[in-house]
Amino acid sequence: MSAADTHSLLQKNLPGVDFSTDEHALQHYGRDWTRFHTPRPEAVLWPRSTGQVQQIVRLANKLGKSLVPSGGRTGYSAGAVATRGEWVVTLEKMRAIGEFDPIDRQVEVEAGVITEQLQEFARQQGLFYPVDFASAGSSQIGGNIATNAGGIRVLRYGMTREYVAGLTVVTGAGEILHLNNGLVKNATGLDLRHLMVGSEGVLGIITEARMRLIDPPPPQSVMLLALSSLDAVMRVFALARARVKLSSFELFSHKALTHVRSQRELPAPFEANSPWYVVLEFDNAGPADEEAALAFFEAGMEAGDIEDGIFSQSVEQARQLWQYREGISESIAHLTPYKNDIAVRVSKVPEFMRRLEEILQASYPDFETVWFGHIGDGNLHLNILKPENLSVADFQRRCEAVSADVYGLIESLQGSISAEHGVGLLKKPYLPHSRSQAEIALMRQIKAAFDPNGVLNPGKMLPDQTNT
């Protein structure tokens, strides 16, 4: 269909809904943070209400069109990428923060509210929204729910799922569902709200959510530690968990440090280089906490696991120390990283990383790999960087060859091929490494129940039938 035909079709059938068929808009809204697909949507639509989303979904069903629900497009699995003439439905004009009830400690938000906006709203109420990560300034609550986003404080506060008290959803069939309505207890059959969390836009479009806010934590301090080995990382984790009240325990390799320092022009934190670094955040409400933290540090030094460390002395210094971890993703973005967002049980992390390093060094010595991750949750980000002389297509092919080995190893350890970024287009061939045939068959049936004509995010998350 030509852009002019699409234009008149949308104008005629969706009066009041903003849209564009302009090439620049199509390119911009047709992609997320991944760079492995060429965006080719037919139109971009900006609904302003749940009712308008319903109109769009009903029209798509009537005309056999496909829709891509779109949030802040910070996703790393190509879930919001539109490559086959879809209509991108962006929630970015649904950004209202609605009713807040201090007794329920819940706030109603439209799906397009930016994660940071909700964090700031919680602060203004004297409360806390703990889900946080480096893209919080761009990602949307709807996208966070659709990916069950995690981040840097999962260790203590859990994933986005923990904070979803209610949802309004337009299903792929065009029905509006109000799920759970903020109830704390609700034992009335299957909890469809939780089915929507992490559903990556294949079942319905989330238009509104009731989000739970919690008590703010006591004052926090941050340590940046240089560690002698991977085994030392796990020992220091165990020691820290026993001695201080941890909110975060984040790992990164020396290569990761090199990239973030060069992109953000940060000084070397320590005189000597170490193979691994961790950023810890923990409660520091007074002298007892401070003493416990120092005792932990000394014990780690005595054991030879901690080589050096910095203990933040102010909120500003804590923010600076976080930059060494939080800036990593951005610092390697220009190198077209192929991201593996993998998880194993925390106790299996050292074995997993050692075996993986062996695979990478034996088979792909020419690839630069950058490790970082939420080690306290068993979630590692293995980033393979594109060599300058390789085309994106060739690089992707080589990485997919790496993936087969990486995911085989994960399967043998009963781990996950996607801990928090979702499956989308990039990871769907590998889903059988983490989910059984029976589970995938059930997922297909659930998809068909919510979206009988397959209008929502077709071709995403569920492997092509030939792959299963």
Ligand X SMILES: Cc1cc2nc3c(=O)[nH]c(=O)nc-3n(C[C@H](O)[C@H](O)[C@H](O)COP(=O)(O)OP(=O)(O)OC[C@H]3O[C@@H](n4cnc5c(N)ncnc54)[C@H](O)[C@@H]3O)c2cc1C
Tell the burial category of 195 from Cβ atoms under 10 Å away from its Cβ (0-12, 13-18, 19+): middle
> How near is the Cβ of 73 to ligand X at its closest, in Å?
4
CB atoms within 10 A of CB 23: 9
Measured CA to CA, the distance from residue 351 to residue 415 in angstroms comes to 12
Which of the stretches 8-16, 66-74, 237-245, 302-310 binds ligand X when contact is defined by CB under 6 A?
Answer: 66-74
54 binds ligand X (CB under 6 A): no
Instruction: Report which residue type is found at 164.
Output: V
- Count residues binding ligand X (CB under 6 A): 39
* Closer residue to ligand X (CB): 69 or 269: 69
Measured CA to CA, the distance from residue 48 to residue 4 in angstroms comes to 23
* Closer residue to ligand X (CB): 71 or 166: 71
> How near is the Cβ of 395 to ligand X at its closest, in Å?
19
With CB atoms as reference, the residue minimizing the distance to ligand X is 143
Q: Which residue has the tokens 């973005």?
A: 333
3-state helix, strand, coil in the chain (%, to 5): 40, 20, 40
The beta strands (E) that lie in 39-185 are given as 43-46, 67-70, 87-90, 97-101, 106-110, 164-171, 176-179
CB contact at 8 A, 380 and 413: no
Which of the stretches 5-13, 42-50, 311-319, 416-424 binds ligand X when contact is defined by CB under 6 A?
Answer: 416-424
265: left (phi over 0), alpha (psi -120 to 50) or beta: left
* Closer residue to ligand X (CB): 142 or 269: 142
418 binds ligand X (CB under 6 A): no
* Closer residue to ligand X (CB): 225 or 328: 328
79 binds ligand X (CB under 6 A): yes
Which residue from 135, 171, 180, 221 is in contact with ligand X, where contact means CB under 6 A?
135
- Provide CB contacts within 8 A for 10, sequence distance 6+: 17, 19, 21, 43, 45
Which of the stretches 55-63, 69-77, 227-235, 391-399 binds ligand X when contact is defined by CB under 6 A?
Answer: 69-77
> How near is the Cβ of 326 to ligand X at its closest, in Å?
8
* Closer residue to ligand X (CB): 421 or 433: 421
The site string for ligand X over 449-468 (x = CB under 6 A, - otherwise) reads --------x-----------
- Footprint of ligand X on residues 274-303 (CB under 6 A)? none
Instruction: Report which residue type is found at 314.
Output: S
Q: Can you give the binding site for ligand X, defined by CB under 6 A?
A: 32-33, 68-76, 79-80, 91, 111, 133-135, 139-140, 142-144, 146-147, 149-151, 200-201, 205-206, 329-330, 420-422, 424, 457
